[in-house]
Structure 1
């Protein structure tokens, strides 16, 4: 009879336990996958519908312009651009306050309420008769829409891991290009009506789409759940798992949802990647919102002989292509758990599209170039918010970082309202040149930020031990407030 050594016994026990450990890991993975799918089904569809109507109510003024809005209000010269700009002035002013309100009130109440507000304003737009009235309702539209995009991104960050967030942001932000397609189809359908009550032509567009928005907002009051631990559709075990899996990625944070903290807000606002990504989003938004506001007008210069309904329908296919890429690139980002270089690869197709628009007068080639400009450019709404969210720690820092990103984006929106001017038709050389420059710049900034993140991570590894010694003199709260200055922090590329 042979006696096993202690080493042999440990090895045998280890071999015996391996299948058990693997099975336990697989079971945990299956539970998390099941939970994630459940969250996808209960959370994403509602916020996607809210964002769809947000973008439609913002951009339908372009469809209304083709249907006589500009003529009936006697807008001349740059009046139309002024009306567009007013929206972004209020949007920018109320961006950060609205984002903080979203955290204080809770996104489950804030998002439906602000949607109800801009739905009512959209209906009111059907009754404007002067430029002053149009400016007033567009200002109010900006007030109510300011908090929706950052609010949804912040809301989703309460539910998903860092690697999962870009794809879920992509799911709801697919609504941006789809709103162009759906808005064009809806506008062309509405314009086939002889009247809607006492309203006609462009008035019907604002009224019908506003009523749809109000209806969706009312439904959202009953369907949106504020956070995982209050979700009636989750079991207690699922609530605990939902909180723990997000909390596990937040270095040195004691709770998932902290109270408003001035230091954390400042850390989120001054985070280098928040600033760099916000600049990328600003440059990108100049392009995206130029397309959204002026695509009907651009197509009118390409195919001047087409009817109003035909021109509305020609706006649809480029947005369908854009929606495809809004899903594709965040899906790849989720698969590889990588974001920064995906920010850079969105630029070349937009660059190619604007080069073609500047280089040729061939109508069909110019229309084809619009597909290039509208393809990958739309993806940065999801990717920039995902990258900002991935590179902050606390809930407070995340709310202000996403709000900052969207605020910068809407500075780009304000610039976009002046890209395609009536004096620049039919080639729009100024607008196309500006958008070409923006695409080159956002690609460059994304690449430079990528190399800086890798370099700074290497530096942090070198001074890691020395930096840790400095933590001994800090309280627990002070350590939590360090955010990206914590020695264990590494940039998520």
Structure 2
């Protein structure tokens, strides 16, 4: 039915291929669609290229196997190196560094200050350097910072190391999301993002197991207790960073593991979803950068991610503390292990919801149905002091909260056109999300223990607001798409050059919002 490229046609309504006689024409059609200076859509955003589904499945599986494992492992240790301070707290971190009052919260906050400041600059740097170099270099750098934390002796030293850790981790979540957008269609993206973002809840589970295992050791070199956690996990991260310099491929054109036909298919199928796009990877452009930042979908989704991250990061930093209040008489190792099951359940839903969003090609529905899981959990926390009820509540909260990382970044990526706008849109979303992370560091305060009415009440409010905002955003997208469908695109674009049309990005009247 198709050639090796999987392309059935490109020129007008005329289909090319469909038998061995036409294979060479089909291959040429794919190369033409993938080539610079050519578009793969008409001015209404309708694809001019058709693909063989079997060829796409083979290509997609190949990309999955070659790209996803490395970025998933990188993000696993990115999150472990960020959140292991919560495990270290149970093992004497505060006592050894003489942290008192709100010192622990201050140390957590310092990480987010640099994280927020460098979020967008790091994602722009990722585009400029290329993800194939930027992501391994960042991994190596934050691994060194994690290792350095094992040797701090006061609040000033740990604050400095955490500030540097924030700089080097700032580009990881948006950088990987941007990187995967170079490889996958819009409907496919959320699930692939979930395959690495699921490492956040798994990091909570694996981090607790790893910390428990490390603490059973007597020492690592001259390091003991919580210092061993940072040293061992930092060394593993450094090794992973060095390996990823070899294993990460920057973009389809440079992938040695793809044939020339597969490269053409990979590029052409991305172009077929981007209205008026003549090249998948454009040069950095100020206008397109601002289009990504100030897209209404970017700004609204960013605020939703901010609210959600108050819960996600709060769980990461305070889950061990919360479990300690539920099971105060258990051993430290037992308390560490009790943090694992809620994260495992959360990880399941982190993959399930984006997988369903891929199948139904709709992300907004999960913006509405996930928050009830979260606010039900916080209602249970506020309404009961039973350890069983409260421990059960952590499962509901994790189930509803963790999927938003994939859903939000995929949503903003899907609702801009150019590669530059996609980079800045994802960076903006994650930056806002980490403002939520900063807020989370002050949501569970010492004087509010053991019931933490302030922290639980705050998260009840944010999860409720997420549901309301998600429903409103979904309604607005449908409404605006109806307005766009009434515009005469030919008349609106008359007199504009190809460059001017591409600079319109989501303002192009032929563009439609993707829920």
Q: TM-score, normalised by structure 2?
A: 0.90
Q: Is the 8 A contact 2:378 2:393 kept in 1?
A: yes
Aligned to 1:367: 391
Q: Is the 8 A contact 1:166 1:383 kept in 2?
A: yes
Q: Is the 8 A contact 1:468 1:487 kept in 2?
A: no
Aligned to 2:85: 61
Pair 1:269-2:293 in alignment: yes
Say which of 236, 240, 247 aligns to 2:260.
236
Q: How does 1:391-470 map to 2 (within 5 A)?
A: 391-462=415-486, 464-465=487-488, 468-470=490-492
Q: Deviations over 1:440-485 (max 9, x none)?
A: 01111111000000000111112x11x5313212221111100111
Q: Is the 8 A contact 1:63 1:184 kept in 2?
A: yes
Aligned to 2:197: 173
Does the C-alpha gap of structure 1 residues 418 and 382 become closer, same or farther in structure 2, counting only changes over 3 Å?
Answer: same
Pair 1:102-2:122 in alignment: no
Aligned to 1:8: none
Say which of 36, 39, 52 aligns to 2:63.
39
Does the C-alpha gap of structure 1 residues 426 and 254 become closer, same or farther in structure 2, counting only changes over 3 Å?
Answer: same
Q: Is the 8 A contact 2:314 2:443 kept in 1?
A: yes
Say which of 480, 484, 493 aligns to 1:471.
493
Of Structure 1 and Structure 2, the greater helix share is in 1
Does the C-alpha gap of structure 1 residues 46 and 334 become closer, same or farther in structure 2, counting only changes over 3 Å?
Answer: same
Aligned to 1:292: 316
* 3-state SS, counterpart of residue 92 of structure 1: helix
Pair 1:85-2:115 in alignment: no
In structure 2, C-alpha distance between the alignment counterparts of 1:133 and 1:216, rounded to whole Å: 25
Q: TM-score, normalised by structure 1?
A: 0.94
Say which of 410, 413, 438 aligns to 1:386.
410
In structure 1, C-alpha distance between the alignment counterparts of 2:491 and 2:18, rounded to whole Å: 41
* 3-state SS, counterpart of residue 374 of structure 1: helix
Does the C-alpha gap of structure 1 residues 27 and 437 become closer, same or farther in structure 2, counting only changes over 3 Å?
Answer: closer
In structure 2, C-alpha distance between the alignment counterparts of 1:263 and 1:377, rounded to whole Å: 34
In structure 2, C-alpha distance between the alignment counterparts of 1:338 and 1:143, rounded to whole Å: 33
In structure 2, C-alpha distance between the alignment counterparts of 1:88 and 1:468, rounded to whole Å: 47
Q: Is the 8 A contact 2:276 2:501 kept in 1?
A: yes
Q: Which segment drifts farther, 470-479 or 67-76? A: 470-479
Aligned to 1:185: 209
Q: How does 1:189-200 map to 2 (within 5 A)?
A: 189-200=213-224
- What is the aligned-residue RMSD (CA, Å)? 1.7
* 3-state SS, counterpart of residue 31 of structure 1: helix
Aligned to 2:44: none
Query: For structure 1, which runs of at least 5 residues remain unmatched after alignment?
Result: 1-16
Aligned length: 474
Query: For structure 2, which runs of at least 5 residues remain unmatched after alignment?
Result: 1-15, 27-48
Say which of 232, 243, 250 aligns to 2:274.
250
Q: Which has the larger radius of gyration?
A: 1
Q: Deviations over 1:211-263 (max 9, x none)?
A: 00001111100000000010000011011111111111111111000000111
* 3-state SS, counterpart of residue 254 of structure 1: coil
What's the CA shift for 1:18?
Answer: 13
Runs of 4+ in 1 over 4 A off after TM superposition: 17-21, 23-27
